[in-house]
Structure 1
Amino acid sequence: MLNKNAIKEVLDISLPAVGESTLYTFMSIFDTMMIGKYGGSIAVSVVGISNEILNTCVNIFIVVGISIGITSFVSRSIGAKEKSSAQEYASIGFFLGILISIFLCYILFKFSRNILFLAGAKGKILDLSNTFTKITVIAIFFNMITNVINSILRGYGNTYIPFLIAAFITIVKLFLDVILIFGIIVPELGIMGAAIASICSQAAGFIAVLIYFIKESHVKIKLRYIFGLKISKIRNILLLSIPSSMEDAAFGLSRLLCTFIIMHSGNTAFASNQIANTIESISFMPGMGFGVAATTLVGMKVGEKNYKKAREYTYLCAIGAVLMMGFFSAVFLIMPGILVNLFIDEEEKKIIYLASLCLFIGAFEQPSIAISTVFSSALKGAGDAKTPLIVSLMTSWIIRLPLIFYFIHFLRFSVIYVWWVTVIQWGVDAILMFILFEKKLNSRNKLLVSKFIRY
């Protein structure tokens, strides 16, 4: 029988996280819609290839990198009733996050044209993407620091404030998009207006969350922990953050390489895939939100050495994610064409047809993505980022990339084969994550029992 208190605790943490992720996705969707309506498939390709590169880098190094390390150690410290340890990990993690963000932004700004060229951008698309990327890098810096602060808040179960910050950023971004892209009141700036809107909205969000964090956060950043850095604490964070980053890198870079392969197939294939990905991305939000809850709650229960409760929370998070993402499966099956038409003019019938087929196929991978995301997040909450890394390496580089290269680059098949490959990839990924989570928790529980018996 399901525990009502456990369900309430899961929902209290996961629903604001789902809302936060959903808001950011809607922001990206409406942003893409406005850009598509303004400049058609060329504008979508310009912004799409740039955002794909920038978001991949941010996710690898910050969102599922240093931020996961911070959340895991803060939550386990809170679970073990060691607040000073939580604040030390938060302080060191924040410092590391700033250093990583500065370095990453410098690389992205300095070598943007080279990276875009390697991605397959050429001619007008390369020139516009380069300018767009250099402007957007400023917004990315504020976004990364905001993510680091949010990871500290999530570590002690506060997902409500990151949700409110996401709502604030989304409102500012979309408001400025309308004004700057289409030239309402001010001169028409097109896709560069979207980049400027990103800078303003992300900077405003960073200032807002920083003010809250300084005044109200339960876990504070202490300068004494930054000035007196302990190598052991840095090592602990990095030993969890690096495998977590590498897991997302394994997936993100394979996806990026697949994007490059699709880009070389032509603008029609790339724009179709990009639009379908943008629409599908909203369905990932429940998985991400319940994944955040799994990381936090499992971390706390592992800190308490209550492995039975950790398993219960993980299963509840998985059930919630599957149910919510199953709803999106039904939507993608029933009305893919209607959704695609929101993003592109009716004249571009080939893109509408291909994107609709891709989205229809994407419906079949939703439950697997939900299971994979939650059990991977639960493993990280328990302090194990190596297992998700190994699984991601296998499914991304042994299944996804070789098959897409074979069907799209070698056989020159339609872009819809990319989506059938990902259905297979996520199915294998979900099965492996579930099995290895059970194995991990059983081994932890047996170790605890053996220590109790010896005592």
Structure 2
Amino acid sequence: MTLYMMIWVLDTMMVGWYAGDVGVSSVGLSSEILYTFVNIFIAVGISVGITSLIARKYGAKDLKAAEEYASLGFFTGSIIALFILIICFTFSKNILVIAGAKGEILNLGVNYMKIASIALFFNMLTNLLNSILRGYGNTKTPLFISALINVINLVLDYMMIFGVKPFPELGVKGAALATLIAQFCGFICAITYTIKKSKIKPHFKYIKDMNFARFVKLIKLSIPSSLQEGAFDISRLISTFMIMHLGSISFAANQITTTIESLSFMPGWGFAVAATTLVGHKVGEKNYEKAKAYADTCAILGALIMGLCGLGFLLFPKFLISLFIHSSAKDVINLGSICIMIASVEQPVMAFSMIYGGALKGMGDTKTPFIVSLISSWLIRLPLMYYIVYVLKLPVTYVWWVTAVQWTFDGILIIILFRRKFNKTTV
């Protein structure tokens, strides 16, 4: 998960070196929009449904049902991925205008978004295949694939952005092309491994003779998870649009901070996937005590690692921000340093929210994480953001205090509801 997020990080970092705050703003805004679509419908939508159902069927030793869910999930997810590609490619300019992009940020953003939307189509297909592998406990192969994607992306980013022979200097467009090539290579590796070596494989026969009841079960499990991510990501996207009104310096500082923080919560997502898979296996075996033990262990480890990331934010804020932009942009570096220090506060509670939410999904409960996310995002985050940006007109640093409040509420509530759900399930 960290390596996949590194693709966005590397694009933002190198474009920041190449084009300053305008480049960071164009790539940051475009990526934020694209990854919102991917997360809502695929990464935290249909993929979670696939992993959860395969985990429980694999735990119950019902491999036929596991392969049927893998087939239905991959087919459904591929259709959704194609639809997202068409929307983002065709209406890239309209989407960025709605987001508040203007001038050079808009022009660069459109070029980046069109190419990156094709790249993310292959990313979504790879994500679906990875969810099948994770469902039966294979997290190593997705790791190797993401490492390969990163190596290709890193080399091509440098060569295509700055113009190292045989490539011309392509700037922002070069970053998008590098991502496209890397994601395509990753997809080829993922589909080859799944067909040849995976314990659970998708088969066309399950699509031709579709079991409608199982298809409905997959969708019913995936929709609340999608809605949970939608509640969070759409509110975050609206928040990003609000911050656009504070100017390019504030927006660049916010995007760099968001990019850095995205790396810190990837360990949380990793342990959330582990919790979904392991809890799902044990629930399939009806071993509820061990299911709880796995959930608690994942939560403690995730919170510890994210807490250490938060400590890094406190100790080295200027160094971290300066990695993404030229040293002459002192206003962006100073503002971003304060933002990243505030972001350190929310790391442990964010881990609890993600991981206990993942454990609930492993138990087949995708509704509870959605309700919690809906409350924290739309009843806490957005009203406070609007009040700070438009009424009080405070600087972007206050936005990060709002997210700290949101995650604290979210993390505490999800722990309480997980304990209650576990107690009821055990009884």
The bucket for the TM-score relative to the shorter chain is over 0.9
Q: Which runs of 5+ in 1 are unaligned?
A: 1-20, 447-455
Pairing partner for 2:125 from 145, 148, 152: 145
TM-score by length of 2: 0.99
Alignment-derived partner of residue 294 in structure 1: 275
Alignment-derived partner of residue 318 in structure 1: 299
Corresponding position: 1:206 with 2:187: yes
Distance in 1 separating the partners of 2:288 and 2:11: 43
Corresponding position: 1:107 with 2:105: no
Partner letter of residue 390 of structure 1? I
Contact persistence 1:273–1:355 (CA under 8 A):
yes
The worse-fitting range, judged by mean Cα deviation, of 291-300 and 108-117 is 108-117
Corresponding position: 1:309 with 2:290: yes
Pairing partner for 2:206 from 216, 225, 234: 225
Partner letter of residue 361 of structure 2? K
Corresponding position: 1:58 with 2:58: no
Distance in 2 separating the partners of 1:203 and 1:419: 35
Pairing partner for 1:175 from 152, 155, 165: 155
Distance in 1 separating the partners of 2:311 and 2:10: 22
Partner letter of residue 405 of structure 2? I
Corresponding position: 1:443 with 2:412: no
Q: Alpha-carbon deviation of 1:81?
A: 1.0
Corresponding position: 1:336 with 2:332: no
Distance in 2 separating the partners of 1:41 and 1:333: 23
Pairing partner for 1:410 from 391, 402, 409: 391
Deviations, residues 371-394 of structure 1 (Å, cap 9, x unaligned): 111000001111111000000000
Distance in 1 separating the partners of 2:183 and 2:70: 22
Aligned length: 426
Alignment-derived partner of residue 146 in structure 2: 166
Distance in 1 separating the partners of 2:214 and 2:22: 47
Q: Alpha-carbon deviation of 1:286?
A: 1.4
Distance in 2 separating the partners of 1:343 and 1:99: 36
Corresponding position: 1:388 with 2:364: no
Distance in 2 separating the partners of 1:204 and 1:187: 22
Distance in 2 separating the partners of 1:201 and 1:292: 24
Distance in 2 separating the partners of 1:343 and 1:125: 17
Q: Alpha-carbon deviation of 1:425?
A: 0.5
TM-score by length of 1: 0.93
Contact persistence 2:11–2:27 (CA under 8 A):
no
Alignment-derived partner of residue 47 in structure 2: 67
Pairing partner for 1:349 from 319, 324, 330: 330
Q: Alpha-carbon deviation of 1:340?
A: 1.0
Q: Alpha-carbon deviation of 1:31?
A: 2.3
Alignment-derived partner of residue 134 in structure 2: 154
Deviations, residues 100-127 of structure 1 (Å, cap 9, x unaligned): 1111111111211111111000122112
Alignment-derived partner of residue 18 in structure 2: 38
Q: Alpha-carbon deviation of 1:439?
A: 0.9
Deviations, residues 84-112 of structure 1 (Å, cap 9, x unaligned): 00000000001101111111111111211
Distance in 2 separating the partners of 1:99 and 1:345: 41
Distance in 2 separating the partners of 1:130 and 1:95: 29
Q: Which runs of 5+ in 2 are unaligned?
A: none
The worse-fitting range, judged by mean Cα deviation, of 410-419 and 152-161 is 410-419
Distance in 2 separating the partners of 1:160 and 1:258: 35
Q: Alpha-carbon deviation of 1:164?
A: 0.1
Distance in 1 separating the partners of 2:108 and 2:258: 22
Pairing partner for 1:243 from 220, 224, 246: 224
Corresponding position: 1:125 with 2:105: yes
Q: Alpha-carbon deviation of 1:27?
A: 3.1
Partner letter of residue 45 of structure 1? S
Corresponding position: 1:254 with 2:238: no
Distance in 1 separating the partners of 2:11 and 2:80: 27
Identity rate, percent: 53
Q: Alpha-carbon deviation of 1:408?
A: 1.2
Corresponding position: 1:81 with 2:65: no
Distance in 2 separating the partners of 1:124 and 1:202: 27
Partner letter of residue 290 of structure 2? K
Deviations, residues 55-79 of structure 1 (Å, cap 9, x unaligned): 0100000000000000000000011
The worse-fitting range, judged by mean Cα deviation, of 78-87 and 109-118 is 109-118
Partner letter of residue 345 of structure 1? H
Q: Alpha-carbon deviation of 1:259?
A: 0.1
Alignment-derived partner of residue 277 in structure 1: 258
Alignment-derived partner of residue 24 in structure 1: 4
Distance in 1 separating the partners of 2:369 and 2:104: 40
Distance in 1 separating the partners of 2:207 and 2:155: 38
RMSD between aligned residues: 0.8
SS of aligned partner of 2:210: coil
Contact persistence 1:265–1:409 (CA under 8 A):
no
Deviations, residues 268-289 of structure 1 (Å, cap 9, x unaligned): 1100000111112211121111
Pairing partner for 1:375 from 342, 356, 365: 356
Alignment-derived partner of residue 5 in structure 1: none
Distance in 1 separating the partners of 2:223 and 2:81: 15
Q: Alpha-carbon deviation of 1:403?
A: 0.2
Distance in 1 separating the partners of 2:235 and 2:275: 26
Distance in 1 separating the partners of 2:110 and 2:391: 29
Deviations, residues 132-151 of structure 1 (Å, cap 9, x unaligned): 11111110110000000000
Partner letter of residue 248 of structure 2? N
